[in-house]
């Protein structure tokens, strides 16, 4: 029998006419209701800690094959953010990428992803032995017994590793993972640019609404808003709603540091971006004939160096914080107010 989610949290109504009305990025806007005393937006410092790592920018790179490799990890570390190496490769290849990034000492900001079945124990041990201290249990559905069991195993295996789990889209699922030892939890399902879970399964919760749900029940685990971030404003909204960190994919996939080559089409530059559950990524992971495909494959415009993308997102966030008279993310969340646009 499957273990129920935390019983003390009220499950949402099952009848459609009684279901809550969810809101997405474009349905809400931030409102400043305090006179700001910040002389300049540079006086806002959105620092956050993830385990032993202090980040100047609350951004994580999604562990996708076309988003985060060694070069991306190095560039993000230099910018004060965090890269997470993807798991769609052999154990030896992922460990080699960890070393290639020049981060084998475990002192710089880098993480690595593992699954929750197959070789995940071997992969976890190899990455930790290499010096990795931020490990992401990377799954589409974080509210699963296999994820819970993997979390318990990893926590018992090493107590000096920061465990990131997910993805989830409800308060119940967030609390369930928190109970099983997750240090940070990815919140957001089916909102990504190359995710087809929404069209293939009918499962979708807007990330802002899911983050707000998680924030109401969170006791200690960090909230990682993950899915659908297109612009700096989306980052600001997730952080204002309760996210400690925000994970981005498509915003970084078009940069020069993302894996893959630049493609010229009609005189314009592009790069390939594939969803984690796309046909070619599953083939890359060793599944010759995937039983399901919930990820798209597309091209994204080339954006140049990742430093420019991070600088834009950081500038937008700092400006938003200055509107709210907030020098820290804690003050930002305390001072911000919202209006519904529709």
> Is residue 291 assigned to a domain?
yes
Q: What is the CA radius of gyration of the chain?
A: 19
Mean pLDDT of 14-28: 86
User: What is the structure's pLDDT at 214?
Assistant: 97
User: What is the structure's pLDDT at 316?
Assistant: 98
User: What is the structure's pLDDT at 276?
Assistant: 57
Judged against a pLDDT cut of 90, whether residue 4 lies above it is answered with no
193: pLDDT confidence band, cut at 50, 70 and 90? low
Length of the chain, in residues: 342
161-188: per-residue pLDDT in tens? Answer: 999 998 999 999 999 999 999 999 999 9
> Is residue 338 assigned to a domain?
no
The vertex-82 CA angle with 324 and 233, nearest 5°, equals 35
Give the Cα separation of 316 and 66 in Å (integer).
25
**142-151, 188-197, 283-292, 296-305: range with lowest mean pLDDT:** 283-292
Most confident of 99-103, 263-267, 329-333: 329-333
> Is residue 20 assigned to a domain?
no
> Is residue 175 assigned to a domain?
yes
283: pLDDT confidence band, cut at 50, 70 and 90? low
Mean pLDDT of 100-128: 85
Share of the chain above pLDDT 90, in %: 71
Judged against a pLDDT cut of 70, whether residue 279 lies above it is answered with no
CA 187 to chain centre: 8
Based on the number of CB atoms within 10 Å of its own CB, is 3 exposed (0-12), middle (13-18) or buried (19 or more)?
exposed
56-79: per-residue pLDDT in tens? Answer: 999 999 999 999 999 999 999 999
User: What is the structure's pLDDT at 328?
Assistant: 98
90 C-beta neighbours (distance < 10 Å), count: 13
Give the Cα separation of 326 and 36 in Å (integer).
8
Mean pLDDT of 6-11: 52
Judged against a pLDDT cut of 60, whether residue 105 lies above it is answered with no
Residue 249's CATH number: 3.20.20.70
Judged against a pLDDT cut of 70, whether residue 260 lies above it is answered with yes
**Residue written as tokens 């017994």?**
145
293: pLDDT confidence band, cut at 50, 70 and 90? very low
> Is residue 3 assigned to a domain?
no
Q: Nearest Cα to 187, choosing from 145, 132, 242, 135?
A: 242
200: pLDDT confidence band, cut at 50, 70 and 90? confident
User: What is the structure's pLDDT at 7?
Assistant: 47
Provide the residue range defining the domain that includes 252: 38-333
User: What is the structure's pLDDT at 278?
Assistant: 46
> Is residue 26 assigned to a domain?
no
Judged against a pLDDT cut of 70, whether residue 280 lies above it is answered with no
> Is residue 21 assigned to a domain?
no
285: pLDDT confidence band, cut at 50, 70 and 90? low
Domain count, the chain: 1
Just list the catalytic residues.
195
Q: Note whether 24 and 206 are within 8 A (CB).
A: yes
> Is residue 275 assigned to a domain?
yes
User: What is the structure's pLDDT at 307?
Assistant: 96
201: pLDDT confidence band, cut at 50, 70 and 90? confident
Judged against a pLDDT cut of 60, whether residue 110 lies above it is answered with yes
């Amino acid at each position: 029998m499957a273990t129920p989610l935390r019983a003390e949290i009220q499950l949402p109504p099952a009848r459609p006419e009684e279901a809550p009305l969810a809101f997405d990025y474009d349905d809400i806007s931030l409102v400043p209701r305090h006179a700001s005393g910040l002389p300049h937006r540079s006086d806002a410092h959105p620092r956050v800690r993830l385990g032993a790592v202090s980040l100047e920018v609350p951004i994580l790179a999604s562990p996708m094959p076309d988003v985060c490799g060694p070069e991306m990890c190095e560039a993000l570390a230099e910018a004060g953010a965090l890269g997470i190496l993807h798991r769609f490769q052999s154990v030896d290849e992922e460990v080699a990428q960890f070393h290639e990034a020049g981060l084998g000492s475990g002192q710089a900001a880098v993480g690595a992803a593992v699954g929750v079945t197959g070789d995940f124990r071997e992969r976890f041990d190899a990455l930790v032995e290499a010096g990795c201290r931020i490990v992401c249990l990377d799954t589409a559905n974080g509210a699963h017994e296999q994820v819970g069991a993997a979390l318990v195993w990893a926590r018992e295996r090493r107590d000096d590793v920061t465990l990131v789990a997910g993805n989830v889209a409800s308060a119940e699922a967030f609390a369930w993972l928190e109970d099983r030892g997750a240090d940070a939890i990815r919140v957001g399902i089916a909102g990504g640019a190359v995710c087809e879970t929404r069209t293939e399964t009918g499962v979708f919760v807007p990330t802002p609404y899911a983050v707000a749900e998680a924030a109401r029940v969170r006791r200690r685990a960090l909230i990682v808003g993950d899915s659908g971030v297109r612009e700096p404003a989306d980052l600001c909204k997730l952080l204002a709603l309760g996210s400690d960190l925000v994970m981005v994919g498509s915003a970084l996939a078009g940069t020069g540091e993302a894996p893959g080559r630049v493609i010229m089409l009609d005189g314009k530059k592009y790069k390939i971006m594939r969803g984690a559950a796309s046909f070619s990524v599953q083939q890359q992971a060793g599944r010759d004939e995937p039983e399901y495909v919930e990820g798209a494959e597309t091209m994204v415009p080339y954006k140049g160096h990742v430093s420019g993308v991070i600088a834009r997102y950081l500038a937008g966030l700092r400006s938003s914080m200055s509107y709210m008279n907030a020098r820290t993310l804690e003050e930002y969340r305390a001072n911000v107010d919202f209006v519904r646009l529709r």
